[in-house]
Amino acid sequence: MSSVFTVDPHSGVPIYLQLIEQIKRSVALGVLAPGEQLPTVKQLATDLTLNPNTVARVYRELERDGIIETSPGRGSFIRSNGGVGNATRAAADVAAAAIDAAVREAKSIGIASTQAHDLFRRAIARWYPDHHETEDRSL
C-alpha cells in the first residue's frame, strides 16, 4: 500500500504536507476505503524512508482533520463516518492551493491576467474534455 505514496523532498512543499495531501487524496478517491487500516508509523517510515516523527505528525494531523482515527494498541484506521467527506473537502483545498500557486507563478514571470485566464481555460479544456464552457462574465 505504501508504494502508492511518494514524496519529493525538493518540491518546496514540506514532506509531511505532501504525505497528508496524498493520503487525503487516496481517501477522497476511494483508494483507501473507510475502516481500512493504515500501516504503523514505523512501517510507513521504513517503507518511505522518512523520519518516524514526520510520519507520526502526519497521522496526528490526519486525526485532527477527521480523516483517520487511532485506537491505542489496535492501530490507525480510515474513519468510517465522515472520513470520506472530510477527505474530499481537503482534496478541494489541495486543488485550490495548487491553482493559487500556478496563478502566482504566472504573475511572477510577467503573464498578463487575460493571458493567464486564457491558459486556465485551455487547461480545463484539455483535462476535462466533457466540460462545456458557458459564458461567464463574472470572471
Partner 1 sequence: MSDPTTTISINALTKRYGQTPAVENLSIAIPKGSIFGLLGTNGAGKTTTFKCMLGLARPTSGSVEFNGQPLSPEMFEHMSYVPERCALYEWMSGAEHLEMQRRSFKQYDAKRAAQLMDMFALDRKKKIGKYSKGQQTAMALVLAFSTHPDILILDEPASGLDPVHQRHVLDLVIGEAASGATVLFSSHQIGQVERAADRVAILHQGTLRLAGEVEQLKADVKVVEATFDSDAPSVNGLQSDPAIGYVQRTGKLLRVYVRGKGEEIEKAIAAKSPRSLRVLDQNLEDIFLSTVGASPSNESEG
Binding site for partner 1 (CB under 8 A): 7, 9-10, 12, 14-16, 41-42, 45-46, 49-54, 105, 108-110
Beta strands in 1-139 (DSSP E): 68-71, 75-78
The residue among 52 and 82 lying less far from partner 1, judged by its C-beta, is 52
C-beta of 50 vs 90, nearer to partner 1: 50
Least distance to partner 1, CB of residue 107, Å: 9
DSSP 62-73: HHHTTSEEEETT
Shortest distance in whole angstroms from residue 50 CB to partner 1: 6
Q: Nearest approach, Cβ of 79 to partner 1 (angstroms)? A: 24
Contact 36/78 with Cβ under 8 angstroms?
yes
Q: What is the distance between the terminal CA atoms of the chain, rounded to a whole angstrom?
A: 42
